[in-house]
Structure formats: structure tokens, C-alpha cells
A and B are shown apart, each in its own frame.
Chain A
Amino acid sequence: MGTEPVTMRWDPQLSGPRAGRRLYGALVSTQPQPDVDAARPAIRLRGLRKRFGTGPQAVDAVAGVDLDVRDGEFLTLLGPSGSGKTTVLRLIAGFELATAGTIELGGVDVTRRAPFERDVNTVFQDYALFPHMSVTDNVGYGLRVRKVGRAERASRTQEALDGVRLGHLGDRRPAQLSGGQRQRVALARALVNRPRVLLLDEPLGALDLKLREQMQVELKAIQRQVGITFVFVTHDQEEALTMSDRIAVFDGGRIEQLGSAADVYERPATPFVAGFVGTSNLLSGAAAEQVLGRSGTWSVRPEKIRLDLDDEPAAEAHDRSATGVVREVVYVGSATRFVVDLDAGASLVALQQNVQTSSSDVDAYRGRRVRLHWDPRHEVQVADPATAPTAH
């Protein structure tokens, strides 16, 4: 394998619009990084395990993870609380020592290396800014300890701060910043070092919804412009779906499914993924036989299901249909969620846009008999019938 200088990765021509080049100039210029092989994955995890504690209290926080993160990719680790996302990140950064398995960065085995010997930077969940330093000193810290000259340090720090639009707040202490500003300082502090890989542990978790959505867009734009590999942890499925190139869905220290947002959402591999990413709308066992005419466990996304009152004219012939009673009506503004108990035994959620209806109209559906119908193409088998846990 030939070693291509990484200067390529920083080529401004490849890194997006002019505005981005000006804003993130500090991050996209020069500095070839010699020991990097473009053909190799940025991160390669093999058989990674981490056990905390011993004896009966032992916890397998990471229970065998194999993962290749491509160069320049935005990969999201998505999973419920306690599923091991943070631990995987801490293993990659070097804060925890793996119990078993290997970690490679750009083809180099770093499993036993200290954090300061790894070319990754982390944006911590609580930002972990240095409280006794100004914003400028925080951002310049990585350059300072790597003995970058004073002048270059000052200019790169300033550019990084401008890049996150905090150029005017350099003299403040972290305690004098808002949550969103701290978050951006943490981002600038990591990016100014031009790491190969940036690890982000729920960096938006502490922000309010509005700011969160704004930062999602900004983060994604920055990632495109600097071309750095991002490994992003979240337990918010919407965030994962909107930002990621690929998503690794975690449960119990394992990867349940790895794929694009569309893969994970439309073709969930297991009942867990179907339930965690989006609403789990599962038909299995007798209900599946009766409604779908086939066995196994099947998932239909709520927005694919249409809902009519039972006495209205029947749907198109090729549609799958099932009748039932509306148990619950949840008005969510632009749409309404109907929970329907099917005559066949299971219950399904149908999401209907409120195009013609208002909240008082939809409330009248409660307790009514309805007919659900959907295109069979939207039925996805989520697990082998033999191994799937039988519902009801």
C-alpha cells in the first residue's frame, strides 16, 4: 500500500465553499501528516472488550466490538443509556485500557498507548474546559504542549476561535460563557490541533432544542469542510439520523446494526433497532400470520400506514389492510399519532399528517373502529423467526 501524504485531505479545493475556507482556514491548511495511509480505515476496532470490576459485580461495558471507521466519515454511535458508547470512545481516546481486543488508528496499533500518544482529540460531554485559563489559553493548549511557536500558536488559535464565531470572547474564563459558547470552545480546542479523528461524546446534550438544531447543522458543516473523521455519540435517534454518514446502533456493549441512516431506519436488522430507532411497530406470531399472511417478525414504520374510518370506502386493492379500534390519540402539532389495537391481536401506531384535520377533529377518533392500510413494500422483516423473541 502506498503512503499518500495527507496534504490531500487538507486541500482547500476538496474542503468546501470559499466561506468555509476563510472560516476554517486554520484547520484546513498545510501540515502533512507522515505516518498516515489513506487507504486504511481511520479507526479499526477488533474484538474490543472492556470489563469494569471483578467477580459478581463485573460489568462488560463493551462486549466484543468490531468496527471500521472510514477516513473522513461522520460515524454515530447510537444507543440507550449504559449501552457502552462512552466506554468505546474512552477506549479509542486512551482513557481506559481495553480488557481484550485491539485499536488501530490509521493502521497503527495504539491499544497500549497513552492518550497523549494518540492522534485523536475529544470533545467531552461536559466540555472539560480548563476553568483557570482564558478561552484563548484553552484553545491554544494543545499547540502549547506540542511546542508550537508562539506566533503560529496565536494565529491558529485566533483562527479557530473565529471559526466557531467566538473570536471576540478570547479573554473570558469558561465560567463566563453560556452553554453553547462553551461547547464551541471545546470544539475549537479540539479542532485547532488538526487531529485525524475527533471523538464527540454527546456534545449537544446540554443545549436547548433550538441551539441544538443549530449546532447540528454547524457541526456537520465543519466536518465536511475540515474532512476530519468524526465519531459522534448520542442517544437521540433524530440527531443520529440527520447527521451521520453511518450509524452504529449499540445495545448491551455490542453493535446491533451498522449502516446508513436509511438502512437503520428503513431496514432495521433486529427488533431492538426497530424499537430504538423510531417507533417499534412490530407484527409477529399469530398477528403476522393473520394480517400479513406470513410468519416472522415484521416492522412497518408509523408514517407508512394510512388510517380510515372503517365505514369509509375500502382502500386500493394491492394495499395490506387490517381493522381495529383506536386506543390512543396523540396530537403532536403537525401530525397525529394513533395507537390502534388490531382485531388480529397486536397494536400498531399510525402517524397521520394534520393536513385537513385539527386537534378537535382527531380527538373524535378515540374508540372508533378504523382500517389501517399500507403498501406491502414497507414491511421489513427484522429478525429470523427462529431467533426472534415472540411477542404476546
Chain B
Amino acid sequence: MLLSRRGRTILAAAMGLGLAFIYLPLLVVVVNSFNASQVFAWPPRSLTTRWWREVASNTGVREAVLTSVEVGLVATVTAVVLGTLLAFALARYTFFGRQSVSVLVVLPIALPGIVTALALRTAFQTFLGVELSIWTVAVSHATFCMVVVYNNVIARLRRTGTTAEEASADLGADGFTTFRLVTFPLLRGALLAGALLAFGLSFDEIVVTLSTAPPGVTTLPIWIFQNLSRPNQAPVVNVVAAVLVLLSVVPLYLSQRLAADTVTAGRL
């Protein structure tokens, strides 16, 4: 599409404003993590790495990170297995009620987190009689992490269709060989992208975590939340936030590259 010079100027300005609105606050967080002033006097008069050193030796932070990673991994693995199976069932087989099932699968991501949280907590405590633990948190996360895996995989399955698998069977490969040599390799990118997104979702979840975790279990976002209001902890919280900003970029970048990569590979 061709735009007039004025049109382009306006668009560029709008884009600049939008990006600035999102990224300036993040930049401030990162800069403040080096701000020598405990109350974040702006502009910073001198810089220090003191807060970063403090975080490195803070056991609360370390435990919270560990918990988050554990929950994230369990939730991701569960989501990948279930989401992939569901995608296969819904993309490759026709059965009664298929349409309704496909809506039910994606619903958890549309539901307000607080509703999911409440429902899961009630289910665990009242119906199942399960004690809340790190596992209940992970399973709860899996309910919505599964959706992103499912969405990625089913999109790929729909796009690639079944001709490659038919060609494989035609050339003499049985079902398992076809899966190993054709279906899975074609799906790998979508699976990895889905897994990274799922892990990301789990990693910064708060509402569901709060209501399905037992008192002693603290994930990183919850630790931040708890320490946000304590003035003497502010610099440490700020460093954690800065780390998270930098860390989030990695899976996002990777999943985008994977998606792009496999799109070109999938084109025939």
C-alpha cells in the first residue's frame, strides 16, 4: 500500500508515541535498578550495582524463582502433552460434538482469571479433597497454558494438511514411522513456540497462583507483589523487575523466530 507523505508522517508519529508509552516505563525500571538513591530520585544522580548484589544474595528471591521455574516446567509439560493430543483429535478426527469441544478447550483463556482461580480452588479443596501444594498450582496453570499449545499445534496441523502423511504411508512407512519422520518434524516448531508461550504465561501468573497455592509457596510474581509495598525493599523489587524485562525478551524472540522459520519450511 502506498501512503502520501503526510499519511506516513502521521503513522510514524502514532507508532512512535505508542511504543514510547509502552517502553519508556520499562526503561525507567531498568535504569532505576542502578539508581543509587533508595527512593529513586529522578534523574539518578549516581549509579550503583549495590541492589543487584543484594538481590543475588536474597534467599527469598532465589526460592521464589525456583518455585516459579518448577511450576512453569510442570505446567508446560502437561500443557504440551494434553494440548497436542487435543489438537490432533480435533484436527484429524470427526466425532459427535467436535465443535463444542473445540470451544470448551479455548474457553479457559477467555475466562476471567479470578473465576478460574475460584473454581479450581473449590474443586481441589471441596470435591477432590486435595491439599494445596506446588502441584495444584502447576495443574491449575496447565489449564490455560494448554490453550496456547493447542492453538499453535492445531493451526499448524490445519495448514500442513494430511498430504505429507499420506505420501509417507504411500512410500511404505507405517503409522509410527510416519509420525517420527514426517508429522513430528513438521510440528516441532509449533510445539516449541507453544511451549515457550505456555511457560511465559505460567511464569507471570498471579491470580490463579494466589488461590491455589498453600501459604508457604511463593512464586516470583507473588514475591514481587508482597514486597512492592515495603519501602526498604523497593530497590530490590526493581532489580527483579528489570531482570524479568530482559528475560521475557528471550522466549518471545525465540518463539517468533521458530514460528517464522517453520512457516517458510512448511510452505510447499
Instruction: Give me the interface of A with B, judged by CB distance under 8 Å.
Output: 93-95, 114-116, 120-122, 124, 126-132, 141-142, 144-146, 173-175, 189-190, 193
Contacts and interface: CB of A to CB of B under 8 A. Distances in A.
B186 A131 contact: yes
B169 interface: yes
Given A122-B167, A174-B268, A175-B268, A116 B174 contact: yes
B178 to A, nearest CB: 8
Nearest to A175: B267
Interface in B153-186: 163-164, 166-174, 177, 181-182, 185-186
Given A130-B164, A130-B182, A189 B268 contact: no
A86 B3 CA distance: 47
B268 A142 contact: no
Interface of B: 163-164, 166-174, 177, 181-182, 185-186, 264-268
Contact of A128 (B166, B172, B266): B166
Given A131-B267, A131-B268, A146 B172 contact: yes
A128 to B, nearest CB: 4
Of listed B166, B170, B185, residue having the most chain A CB within 10 A: B170
Given A115-B166, A128-B163, A130-B182, A142 B265 contact: no
Contacts of B266: 131
Contacts of B185: 132
B167 A124 contact: yes
Contacts of B186: 131-132
A94 B175 CA distance: 14
A131 B165 CA distance: 12
Contacts of A130: 164, 167-168, 182
B264 A175 contact: yes
Contacts of A114: 169, 174
A131 B164 contact: yes
10 contacts: A115-B169, A116-B170, A116-B172, A129-B167, A130-B167, A131-B266, A131-B267, A132-B265, A141-B181, A144-B181
Of listed B173, B186, B264, residue having the most chain A CB within 10 A: B173
B167 A128 contact: yes
A358 to B, nearest CB: 46
A146 B173 CA distance: 7
A313 to B, nearest CB: 62
Contact of B170 (A93, A126, A131, A144): A93
B264 to A, nearest CB: 7
Given A131-B267, A142-B172, 12 more contacts: A115-B169, A116-B171, A124-B167, A128-B167, A130-B182, A132-B265, A145-B168, A145-B181, A146-B172, A175-B267, A190-B171, A193-B171
A66 B268 CA distance: 36
B185 to A, nearest CB: 5
B160 to A, nearest CB: 8
Contacts of A124: 163, 166-167
A175 B267 CA distance: 7
Nearest to B163: A128
Nearest to B262: A132
A296 B11 CA distance: 74
A95 B174 CA distance: 13
A127 B161 CA distance: 13
Nearest to A114: B169
Contacts of B174: 114, 116
Contacts of A190: 171
Nearest to B267: A175
B265 A131 contact: yes
B191 to A, nearest CB: 14
A128 B171 CA distance: 12
B162 to A, nearest CB: 9
A121 B268 contact: no
Contacts of B170: 93-95, 115-116, 120-122
Contact of A193 (B164, B167, B172): B172
A115 B182 CA distance: 16
A115 B170 CA distance: 5
A128 B164 contact: yes
Contacts of A116: 169-174
A255 B174 CA distance: 33
A94 B182 CA distance: 19
A132 B167 CA distance: 14
A142 B163 contact: no
A94 B174 CA distance: 13
A146 B169 CA distance: 11
A112 to B, nearest CB: 15
B242 to A, nearest CB: 39
Contacts of B166: 93, 95, 115, 122, 124, 128
A364 B59 CA distance: 100
